[in-house]
Amino acid sequence: MALFRSTTTAIALMTVALPAFAEGEVNLYSSRHYDTDERLYSDFTEQTGITINRIEGDADELAARMQAEGANSPADVLITVDTSRLKRAKDMGLLQPIDSETLEARIPANLQDADNMWFGFSQRARIIFYNVETVGNPPKTYLDLADPAYKNQVCIRSSSNTYNQTLLAAMVTHEGKEAATKWAQGVVDNMARAPQGGDTDQLRGIVSGECDIAVSNTYYFARAIRTEVDGVSASIGKIGHVFPDQAGNGAHMNLSGAGVAAHAPNKENAVKFLEYLASDQAQQYFSAGNDEYPAVQGVTLAASVEQLGAFKADEVNLSDVAENLPTAQKIFDAVGWE
């Protein structure tokens, strides 16, 4: 059982000149656009002497670039957010299987691709938030979000959002297509407004009174605890949270992960980088630097994350969830989830 306890907008593609076959380097294509990740990169270089070159951009842009570059691509590692994008990269032939005893030992099996094409390195729980002043009995499960009792109360992102795609795919995995379709229709019926904005905007909707209930990843809320987030932090006492399905499957986890590029010119260094991401030092920084949950069990949580409390996480195999992503998209389309 995975139990966590005490112990958004795409950025413009940045072109970097990369010497593809130089020794002592690793070339990262990354859609993680967090300034705090700079510490990860500098620590890796300090420990190994391996220079990191980066191209940063939107996940789809990076995938298209790698595909266009083909066998001449300088990419060694693709880093991206969420299972859906990792699966897409795998299906496009952009990744290769790797054999690493370190990764097998450190990363839980449910956070690995079945063919070892990608590994998860950090997680965010996708949970329910609510207005403590207006909601006396908040939803306790994801299925509860479709309860007619919450009609016109729910704020949630669009169906094009990768976090929602994976959440629905997990529901298909657990409950089957028919139940997942019924749930998606119920959520659409309960929406307080048409889907808009990012996860932070859903939290702002609670503060503004536009909605009483919202779905968001935990790190957006934890960030508002740790630092000033406009429209959230000043009224954070108004927002309560529920880790769903604690008597059942547990809270759904979105992840950030990486894989070695199919034509990596520096494969050995690429594997070393992935193994570094699984180290205690890097895992702690995912939490301290970006308010995420580590993939490796037992790693100390940041204070902002710890403040959310202990919870049971869903241990569904994300490789299985990835197989249901096409079904999830069909369901979204069928029920008119914008």
Tokens read off for 183:
């749930």
Q: Which helix (H) or strand (E) holds 203?
A: helix 199-208
In the three-class reduction of DSSP (H, G, I as helix; E, B as strand; rest coil), residue 227 is classed as coil
The H or E element that residue 334 is part of is helix 325-335
- Quick count: other Cβ atoms within 10 Å of Cβ 69? 16
Alpha-carbon span 195 to 165, nearest angstrom: 14
The SS3 assignment for 31 reads: coil
Considering only CA atoms, which of 93, 108, 80 is closest in space to residue 258? Answer: 80
3.40.50.300, 3.40.50.720, 1.20.59.10, 3.40.190.10: CATH of 124-251+324-335: 3.40.190.10
What is the fold of 2-123+255-310?
D-Maltodextrin-Binding Protein; domain 2 (3.40.190)
The encoded tokens of residue 94 equal: 């952009």
pTM: 0.90
Helix (H) or strand (E) holding 125: strand 119-131
Helix (H, G, I), strand (E, B) or coil at 283: helix
Distance CA 255, CA 83 (A): 7
Rounded CA-CA distance 314/76 in Å is: 31
Q: Which of 164, 139, 134 is nearest to 150 (CA)?
A: 139
Residue of 332, 203, 301 lying closest to 5 (CA atoms): 301
Predicted local distance difference test score (pLDDT) of residue 2: 63
Among 276, 265, 226, 231, CA closest to 44: 276
Tokens 């938030």: give the residue. 129
Helix (H, G, I), strand (E, B) or coil at 154: strand
CA distances from 325 to 78, 211, 289 (A): 20, 28, 30
pLDDT in tens, the chain (338 residues): 466 554 322 333 344 444 444 459 999 999 987 777 888 899 999 999 999 999 999 999 999 999 999 999 999 999 998 899 999 999 999 999 999 999 999 999 999 999 999 999 999 999 999 999 999 999 999 999 999 999 999 999 999 999 999 999 999 999 999 999 999 999 999 999 999 999 999 999 999 999 999 999 999 999 999 999 999 999 999 999 999 999 999 999 999 999 999 999 999 999 999 999 999 999 999 999 899 999 999 999 999 999 999 999 999 999 999 999 999 999 999 999 99
Q: Which of 224, 130, 143 is nearest to 184 (CA)?
A: 143
d(CA 225, CA 304): 6
Burial of 255 (0-12, 13-18, 19+ CB in 10 A): buried
- How do the domains of the chain map onto residue ranges? 2-123+255-310, 124-251+324-335
What span, in angstroms and rounded, lies between the C-alpha atoms of 128 and 244?
Answer: 7
Query: What is the per-residue pLDDT for 3?
Result: 65
